[in-house]
Structure 1
Amino acid sequence: MRKYPSEDSITVTRHYYSRQHRTFETSLDVYVPSSSTTRISSIVVLVVGSAWMGHTPWIYRGTSWWNRAGPRAVAQTSLCICVRHRGAFFQIPSPSILCVILLVSWLGTTSFWITLFLFLTWMWLKMVGQDAASLAEMQSDVEQAIQWIQQNKSNLCGQYTGGKDVPMYFGGYSSGAHVALTVLQRSAELTSVFQGIVLLSGVLAVRPAEVLPEKDHPRWLTDSILQIVFGLKDAKSIPSPLAGTIPPLPHLIIGCEEELWGWNWLNVFFCSRSYAEKARHCGIPVSYHEIVSDHWFILSHPELPKLLQRELPRLVPSSSEQEQS
């Protein structure tokens, strides 16, 4: 265990949930309020985002300002366990880059250095991305993290909850929400571990499907992004949580008015509102909220901690509240 300083009077400790892959990518951070007077009413386990990337530490660290913002917002009132997983890496199809290199070479001898640069870049991407994780490996890492949290829950959380049995919620932000939901959708046993689901500006659909209301997005763009992240072969098999069976747990879903720089044609990746509507249609309790922000800045938006402070206690009523009702 390692302890790290953090902002906003938040204490962060790092743990490793995998004995086989004891690396930065298979670690988790526990965020708790430094103040001893803060009452911890719930435990929130969040899978990190970063567009499924996380193949090497420098990818995570490059977006650390963003990946820390979500857990810090949750930790204003709850104990937050932030789970990392091995990630993907850019998969540039060999025929595509080869065609570009040949085209540049055909333009003339003055393009030699451009051709060389493209070739070396392609070779570097191929070399660095050799051990990139598939979605199944990401899911396996998160499942292993959940099991580790279960086994070490009392040591991790007992001193902060006063030994009380508080609700434990599961979810993620951005691509972490996609990985988290696909884990629950393939394991009813793991779903039973948690009392609710928390999704912050989550990727809730990765491929256009009949259940999606959006019809005005370019299909080639969404397909190309998946192919670059997961590779040409695996991209076609990436499931959409929106097209699957929604876990039967109360949901807290927080989206934003502009999902990604205001580009509406990328809404097919997020569609928090569509997911909330389908969950309600299935009879699942859903608390859905939108923050006036975009996908990049919602986690650091000042309204997010206030919204979490108000809504997290309502997600699962306490035993005393249930008795009164």
Structure 2
Amino acid sequence: MIASIFTDALQMGKSYPQIKSERYYYTGKKLFEQSLDIYRPSDPCKASHSHQSTSAKPIVALVVGSAWVGHRSFIYSQTSWWNSSGPKTVARLGYTCICIRHRGSFPRVFSALTFLYVTVMIALMKVSLDLLLSYHDLSTVHLLGEGMLGAPAALFVAFSVALLLMALGGYGSASFADMQNDVMDALAWFDANKHTLFIDQTRSKTDKSNSIVFGGYSSGGHVAATVMQQPLMWKERNLPDPRVYCSCVLFISPVLSTKPYHVDLEKNLSSVSLNKLSNASSSIHESDSVSTQTSSLSNKSQLRPRWLTDELVRAVFGPDAHIPSPIHTYNQSPPIPHIFIGCKNEMFGLKWLDLFFCSEDYCELLKSMGVESRYIPVNSDHWNILGSSDFADVLRRELKRIWKTD
């Protein structure tokens, strides 16, 4: 798997030799983790197979994915090959793309999940040692026991030291509020400097020329979704309401849930699904189909190890952090078109992680509010979608559909 990822990275780098980026810092500190890159198409008309003027095309602004981690440049930059492949794909289609970074967190190592891992490892070593000793005579057992019984303790000490180093390494890491503020500061900086950047942006409700397509991928989709639901953050920076500033929302394999769905939300999902199914089903088989769908949705949460997914979030943000889960507040999303591009196999078939990547459910809930939303699955996994040809084809089609370009 790791070899495949690095191979894909090399292929991505060779696929876009004509695309170049410009780096800008949206704070005075000039930190890599508080910077943005602007990717411009080298030949917009040719790349997008369109005769439309470049000035009429929307600007795509995407928050990068980083698993919320990256409070040091040497950590953040390790995924730059992956984060840059998305904006390069956008630019290759003939659209200017803004790639927004934000400060990151760092694993809060003193979590229940970490100590569970340590305990399991020590238990496995103890069991292995006991099995090994059971096949030897007493003298050998004595010798092995005297020489090897210290191995679990040594492992525990080594792991404890690693935990301490990781805890020290997390000094100065960002909170989730810091991430949100960074993204909003980046948008405010761009809005104030768009003319200097030779980007003639307009926000007419009837003319979509150079309107903003805002969103993100992976954890960046999560941060983008949360700020879209908080218009006050936009007002504080003298930015228009997101429903005015943005003409469309674009999420690419996004994290849209950080905790299991609550009962009321699952009931709403069931209701929407049943209504959709009842309109499409024949009267003969309708009752059986509805019953099957109800059972499937009602058992949805039971298939997820809720404790484990909770601990994964706590390991990054700490046990006392309250991280917003956008799908739980979906009704606060702006009523503008939403495009969700997901993966058919988000995390290599690990279905319990589908809790985080719930684009289809999020899309379904927005539709129940009357919001124009589309979910398109791509034949890819989470790590390879940004540079895949299927993703490029879907994105080209969806952007043309929204802006009716020829």
TM-score (norm 2): 0.70
Structure 2 match to 1:53: 69
Asked whether the equivalents of residues 111 and 319 of structure 2 are also in contact (C-alpha less than 8 Å), the reply is no
Aligned equivalents of 1:7, 1:123: Cα separation in 2? 42
Q: How does 1:179-258 map to 2 (within 5 A)?
A: 179-187=223-231, 189=234, 190-191=241-242, 192-210=244-262, 211-212=265-266, 213=297, 214-215=300-301, 216-234=303-321, 237-244=322-329, 245-258=332-345
Aligned equivalents of 2:342, 2:215: Cα separation in 1? 14
Asked whether the equivalents of residues 254 and 291 of structure 1 are also in contact (C-alpha less than 8 Å), the reply is yes
Q: Specify whether residues 316 and 242 from structure 1 end up closer, same or farther in structure 2 by C-alpha distance, changes over 3 A only.
A: farther
Structure 1 match to 2:41: 33
Structure 1 match to 2:158: 117
Deviation (angstroms), 1:314: 2.3
Deviation (angstroms), 1:8: 3.8
Structure 1 match to 2:197: 156
Q: Which runs of 5+ in 1 are unaligned?
A: none
Aligned equivalents of 1:147, 1:159: Cα separation in 2? 15
RMSD across aligned positions (CA): 2.8
Q: Which runs of 5+ in 2 are unaligned?
A: 1-13, 47-52, 127-148, 203-207, 235-240, 267-296
Please tell me the residue identity of whatever aligns with 2:108: Q
Aligned equivalents of 2:344, 2:317: Cα separation in 1? 28
Q: How does 1:284-323 map to 2 (within 5 A)?
A: 284-316=371-403
Aligned equivalents of 1:49, 1:119: Cα separation in 2? 29
Q: Specify whether residues 286 and 128 from structure 1 end up closer, same or farther in structure 2 by C-alpha distance, changes over 3 A only.
A: same
Aligned equivalents of 1:271, 1:65: Cα separation in 2? 25
Count of equivalent residues: 309
Q: Secondary structure at the match of 2:173?
A: coil
Residues 156-201 of structure 1: CA deviation (Å, up to 9, x unaligned)? 242899xx94221100001101000101111254413211111001
1:93 to 110, 122, 129: 110
Please tell me the residue identity of whatever aligns with 1:32: R
Deviation (angstroms), 1:316: 4.2
Please tell me the residue identity of whatever aligns with 2:399: L
Q: Specify whether residues 256 and 97 from structure 1 end up closer, same or farther in structure 2 by C-alpha distance, changes over 3 A only.
A: closer
Q: Secondary structure at the match of 2:328?
A: coil
Structure 1 match to 2:211: 167
Please tell me the residue identity of whatever aligns with 2:382: H
Aligned equivalents of 1:127, 1:277: Cα separation in 2? 43
Asked whether the equivalents of residues 201 and 209 of structure 2 are also in contact (C-alpha less than 8 Å), the reply is no
Bigger Rg over Cα: 2
1:24 to 32, 53, 70: 32
Asked whether the equivalents of residues 194 and 201 of structure 2 are also in contact (C-alpha less than 8 Å), the reply is no
Residues 266-300 of structure 1: CA deviation (Å, up to 9, x unaligned)? 11101110011111111111132111111111111
Deviation (angstroms), 1:92: 1.2
Asked whether the equivalents of residues 172 and 199 of structure 1 are also in contact (C-alpha less than 8 Å), the reply is yes
Q: Secondary structure at the match of 1:132?
A: coil
Residues 69-99 of structure 1: CA deviation (Å, up to 9, x unaligned)? 1111111221100000000111012787679
Q: Specify whether residues 115 and 81 from structure 1 end up closer, same or farther in structure 2 by C-alpha distance, changes over 3 A only.
A: same
Q: Secondary structure at the match of 1:75?
A: helix
Aligned equivalents of 1:78, 1:90: Cα separation in 2? 35
Whichever structure has more helix as a proportion of its residues is 2
